[in-house]
Structure 1
Amino acid sequence: MDSVGIVIGWTLRIGIAMSSTIIIAGLILFYIKGQSGYEANRYPTHIKDIMQGCFALKPYGVILTGLLLLMLTPVFRVGISIIAFLVEKDYLYTVITLIVFSILIISFYIGRMA
């Protein structure tokens, strides 16, 4: 396996391990507290609110932080791939990966507007 594959593999493993740990911690908090930490039918929908809930140790905020990290792991992987391809001087794959990264960022922006 080449170095790019190793870097990408470790990036995914670390991202999934971190997000899983955070989600499990949130589930344990939920079990201990017996509530989400938010009023009925009011949950955070913006990143700022999710992070505030996580730092306040609100179970649902912690779980959402883990899910957010899980969603960002592939995006981070693509960003790492750009750097790895640049280091290996593989410019064709660098350009292709930059296009994919741009599409991901645009899709997050469009999804946020909807």
Structure 2
Amino acid sequence: MENNEGKNAPKQSHAIVVEDFISQSLRWGVVISALIIALGLVTYLFTGDSGYPAGFFPTTISQVLKDVTHFKSFAIIDLGLLLLIATPIFRVAASIIAFIFDRDRPYVMITTYVLAMLILSLLLGKAE
């Protein structure tokens, strides 16, 4: 019995480490995105200017990143929102890596499919 317990212990501790990493990344992703959004809101409140003409918002990631370097408040808020959206997508990608290390092929395939659908929905989605 001791041999079976010894074999399961490293795998359980590996799973705990992976789950802890994923859990921490989700927490930090939410905290960092909230701080960035708050920074954008504070910038907007102090300047009173979104950085854009009325009714215009950045709609591409490259435009958001470019406008963040110019400290446009709505671009900063958008960056925080993009990070918030990316956080669970990162979790799915990290899960694929964890399943690869665990050699759990069915879950690798399922999670890869989920990640592909998430990315596809982002690429095909349109802002109007």
**What TM-score, normalized to structure 2?**
0.81
Unpaired runs of 5+ residues, structure 1, are none
Residue 90 of structure 1, aligned match among 87, 96, 104:
104
Alignment of 1:67-82 (within 5 A): 67-82=81-96
Partner of 2:22: 8
Answering whether residue 46 of structure 2 is matched by residue 32 of structure 1, we say: yes
Larger Rg: 2
Percent of residue pairs bearing the same amino acid type: 39
> Which 4+ runs in 1 deviate beyond 3 A?
none
Count of residue pairs brought into register by the alignment: 114
- Cα separation, 1, equivalents of 2:107 and 2:18: 11
**What TM-score, normalized to structure 1?**
0.90
Root-mean-square deviation (CA, aligned residues, Å) is 1.7
Contact 1:4/1:85 (8 A) holds in 2: no
Residue 125 of structure 2, aligned match among 101, 111, 114:
111
